[in-house]
Amino acid sequence: MDPNRPYGRPFDRFPTRREHEDRWAELARAIAAAPGPDRPGLDGGHAEPATPKGELTVLGSGIEAAGFTRADERLLREADHVFHCVADPVTVVRIKAWRPDSYDLGVLYDDAKDRYLTYVQMSEAILHFVRAGRRVAAVFYGHPGVFVLSSHRAVRIARREGHAAVMRPGISALDVLCADLGVDPSSPGMQTFEASDLLIRGRRIDPGLHLVLWQVGLVGELGYQRTGFFNHRLPVLVDRLEEVYGPDHAVVNYIGARYRGTAPVTDRHTVAGLRDRAVQRTVTSASTWYLPPAVAAPADPRMLERLGLIRPGQTVRPPTGPVRTVDDYGPRELAALDGFTDFHVPGGYHWQEDTPAARFVLALGEDGALRERFVREPEAAVASWAPPDLADAERALLARREDAAMQAAAKGRYRRPTPEAARRLRALLTRKSEARALLRSVRDGGPGGGLGGDGSNIRRDLDTVLAEALYPWTGLYGTPDGDLDVYVLGRATDPPRHRIHVNGQRITAPRHDHGVLR
């Protein structure tokens, strides 16, 4: 392939329709011949783990065409069997080129079939090879856990039957909506409803929050139409919105862009404007509606007092609008700009080095064999990969297979100072003579007083020493109302002589370990 013209030729390996239909016919016969609903675990009971044990990984292709991560691509290439249910033809082509033997779950849709039956069949097709002890990858468009019944069903049944099953997140319609429309779900908050469920169950809408309505183009539809839906029941949804917001409130008909170089659909209307049949024809099965907050919710003064955010009797400024303004240049914003005048990078800022532990985590995402061994034998996997500069403490952290431990190892902060460097740091913190000697050494061009060559590791070593020390916390602490006061006297060289008083009463045998006082 010409590197200057990628994808200029057809893919070398691509399935034919006949090959795909033949594979589905064989799979359908195998599923039909398998044991029925009395299979252990399918009746909702707690069956013994199935033998052999299979693996299921559910992936999301995102909203943008073929929006796979490199790790997801490798998972698709390495799986024994691949299933996909994606709405975008470009993504289908990409999957078929990688895996000509993949199964398109879209064949299970039919105009004469209830969608729920289709979803159950999708789950059973995916589970068939999992139950045979194989590694299966299933791809769904967007986020595989957002408005996808069959993915959740397959994962839960697989786990119940003793198989390994994980779901990896993808980019959903809500994610791209927030990005394209500039919506922050935290300010002031967000409600999301499936449009039909909103109507059927009489869900209560809070007009003070962002509102996102899913599947507005399928209101009241339980079946499937390959040619699309006709929005016959859309006026019922409009009636509900007008009850809450009135006829003039804004509504955005949103459809995320799937292809690079194109723009998302962000058609803005009023609630009343949605009654126009021409407008309704622009609402498709991919449409999501967004309605901004209509009213501002005032803060509760009593709760602010309980949280200590205001003092008793202090007044609360009423909100200026339903959504926080984030693009002003008022006094506080100008003060932030003035802060650049004498800005220096803070001493506590952590500069991320190129650490061997970080490279190990990157390798896990791209090396399937290493990842599988890491799950089975974490210590052996780390040892087989580890370069000489991977410290023992970092190896142990990686082998724990815990998020926080692996993050700590990747940061590289767990390399303990040498005993001599730790001793000198403690002396510097507690003895003026040592501090003066270091200052004289630095002034005269010295190497840093035995604290690690040129002193480049001093800050990292200092963090470690302080994490184990109580003496920097020596002082008197109390609550604003005076109900609690704590006196701390931390000893630098004699920890058993730490003194802790709470409301004047001495606490015996206090313990301090890595920043935690007990």
Cis peptide before 188 (omega within 30 of 0): yes
In order of their start, the domains of the chain are 17-171 (3.40.1010.10), 174-291 (3.30.950.10), 356-411 (no CATH), 419-467 (no CATH), 471-517 (no CATH)
* Spatial contact of 140 and 148, defined as CB atoms under 8 Å apart: yes
> Hey, which residues does 293 pair with through a beta bridge?
none
Write the pLDDT tens digit of every residue in 220-251: 876 555 555 567 889 999 999 999 999 999 99
pTM for the whole structure: 0.72
Residue 41 has pLDDT above 50, yes or no: no
- What pLDDT is attached to residue 28? 93
Residue 305 has pLDDT above 60, yes or no: yes
* Spatial contact of 488 and 507, defined as CB atoms under 8 Å apart: no
Measure the CA–CA gap between 419 and 458, rounded to whole angstroms: 13
Rg for the chain (alpha carbons), in Å? 31
Mean pLDDT over the full length of the chain: 85
Q: Which of 10-24, 75-89, 426-440 has the lowest mean pLDDT?
A: 426-440
Measured in residues, the chain has a length of 518
For residue 150, the tally of other CB atoms under 10 A from its CB is 25
48 vs 407: which has the higher pLDDT: 407
DSSP character for 59?
A: E
Which one of 64-78, 173-187, 353-367, 393-407 scores highest in mean pLDDT? 173-187
Write the pLDDT tens digit of every residue in 417-440: 677 777 777 777 777 887 787 777
Query: Residue range 203-207: average pLDDT?
Result: 96
3-state class (DSSP) for residue 352: coil
Region for 12 from its dihedrals, namely left if φ exceeds 0, alpha if ψ lies in -120 to 50, beta otherwise: alpha
Measure the CA–CA gap between 240 and 195, rounded to whole angstroms: 10
Catalytic residue annotation: 115, 119, 141
Residue 399, amino acid: A
Residue 43 has pLDDT above 60, yes or no: no
Band (36; pLDDT cuts 50, 70, 90): low
- What pLDDT is attached to residue 453? 47
Taking alpha carbons only, the member of 218, 151, 211 closest to residue 181 is 211
Residue 38 has pLDDT above 80, yes or no: no
Q: Tell me the CB-side half-sphere exposure of residue 50, using CA atoms within 13 A.
A: 24
- Which residue bears the tokens 């049949």? 277
Measured torsion, CA atoms of residues 463, 469, 471, 476, in degrees rounded to the nearest 10: 90
* Spatial contact of 136 and 101, defined as CB atoms under 8 Å apart: no
Band (104; pLDDT cuts 50, 70, 90): very high
* Spatial contact of 39 and 32, defined as CB atoms under 8 Å apart: no
Phi, then psi, of 238 in degrees rounded to 5: -65, -40
